Amino acid sequence: MRRNFNVIQINGIKGIIFCIGAVICLIAGFVGFPGILMKSGWNLMASSTGVVPSIGLIQGMLLWGIIVVSYFVLRGKKSWLVEFKSADDLSQDEMDAVMKRIRMERQSDLIAKSIMRARELELKAKQELDNKLKENIDKHIDNCIDNTIEKQHTEIK
């Protein structure tokens, strides 16, 4: 079985912040920095020739994008940036092994969820018990107060 089946799992706010940081770094490295170089090269050429106007950072990134897209379009090979593969690449045994692994991971998730649900139910039961106990105590206190008031009322008469 091929081990090309990778799952990326992002947990919590730290994972989201990490992913955002990684995307920002990739954009800076593959778009921002080459855009700065394109802007600098263009402006150097513009200042030495005086024929073309100078450009800013956004125009430098667009120039870099034009160069990259032109390279991939004019490269001549039939390879693409994005390639879609179908499930036909896996044999039935490999597909069964992948599905078994997914079921095992899902089962472990179900076990964790059931443990969390049991804890929630336990806390809810404790809370209900506390509420009933408070109600009984309040009723008992009210009965005691009523009895005391009745005794005092009968003693006064």
Q: For residue range 35-55, what is the model confidence (pLDDT) as tens digits? A: 999 999 999 999 999 888 999
Assess whether 55 and 96 both reside in one domain.
no
Number of domains in the chain: 2
Question: Considering all CA atoms of the chain, what is the largest pairwise distance in Å, rounded to the nearest integer?
Answer: 118
Q: How many residues does the chain have?
A: 157
Kindly report which listed range (39-48, 101-110, 120-129) carries the lowest average pLDDT score: 101-110
Assess whether 109 and 66 both reside in one domain.
no
Q: Is the separation of the CB atoms in 39 and 64 below 8 Å?
A: no
Assess whether 63 and 122 both reside in one domain.
no
Last residue of a domain, one of 46, 77, 108: 77
Q: What is the DSSP letter of 51?
A: S
- 17: pLDDT confidence band, cut at 50, 70 and 90? very high
Residue 70 within any structural domain of the chain = yes
Amino acid making up residue 5: F
pTM of the model as a whole: 0.42
Assess whether 31 and 52 both reside in one domain.
yes
Burial class (CB in 10 A: 0-12, 13-18, 19+), 35: buried
Tell me, rounded to whole angstroms, the distance of Cα 2 from its chain centroid. 27
- Give rounded-to-5 percent helix, strand, coil for the chain: 80, 0, 20
Structural domain including 119 reads 90-157
pLDDT over 90 for what percent of the chain?
A: 32
Average model confidence (pLDDT) for the chain? 83
Higher model confidence: residue 45 or residue 88? Answer: 45
Residue 43 within any structural domain of the chain = yes
Q: Once rounded to an integer, what is the mean pLDDT over residues 8-34?
A: 90
**pLDDT at residue number 20:** 94
**pLDDT at residue number 53:** 92
- 88: pLDDT confidence band, cut at 50, 70 and 90? low
Q: Is the separation of the CB atoms in 29 and 38 below 8 Å?
A: no
Rounded-to-integer distance, Cα 124 and Cα 132, Å:
12
Assess whether 107 and 131 both reside in one domain.
yes
Instruction: For residue 96, give both structure tokens.
Output: 């069964």
* pLDDT value at 79 more than 60: no
pLDDT over 70 for what percent of the chain?
A: 86
Last residue of a domain, one of 47, 77, 107: 77
Q: State whether the Cα torsion 105-108-109-110 is positive or negative.
A: positive
Residue 111 within any structural domain of the chain = yes
